[in-house]
Chain A
């Protein structure tokens, strides 16, 4: 078995301004994902909006410049993730396909194993 991180990218505006039934559906979708894949899901979280993000970059003088906003400005922002266990990429992709999204998409990344 290997571990994969499923990163959820979505349009924050679509998500924040979603009609109540859409957000309800989204919540239900995540609940169902967790229930159906209890054995595979090792963890996961939703993130607060990118408007709450703070970015740190080395300033080249031994310190950091600290700025408001995400590291990279994109239309679809990283909004949450699941850490899952799967036999292979196909199984991880099958899991990712069950994660609800409104407009965005999902990225599947294998977790690096150090030996």
Chain B
């Protein structure tokens, strides 16, 4: 029995720029089940980033309902939101956002520093396990500047996994990477989704990346204009094989 991880009901978000009210989200209804791999697509200005911020508990809706893993988020205050982010969410950013001059291991440990229930021994063990699951066990003590872009993003993914979140939110996570590395990262996401049952929400504007997920939600002008299951789901590993062989950076 799969449970609903994300439920959004008639959610609206307005921004006030001077006297002008910008209606970024005009009434969104969404439902994401456990174990889904969803791509949120849309052009810039479509409201997909605003949606992701709200889904990530970084921002609050103007009106409407958002339930994350059964918790109604709309009524929570800043500190409760921070707590929720720490316990239930994992973020992967376009620009990795790793701490410089900090080893991969410490970067991955970071979310657990903000969880007072995790002792330092457990923190380290979980960080090592997360790094192993993204295939970077041998790069644990490297600094970000000693890692390639793809490896840095893997560290970031390990960091998003370490607190065992109910959903991973990825914001253009392949945006800074070349095609081959993008597919490698997507392969990792697909594996996390199918093998480990992770729920993933992936914001992108690239259709060929969206094809690697299981469901696409398309935003336009603050509305969800289209929602479709990916019928011809492709495996990233096959896409990789199809790519012409080039020297491999990573």
A and B pair up:
no
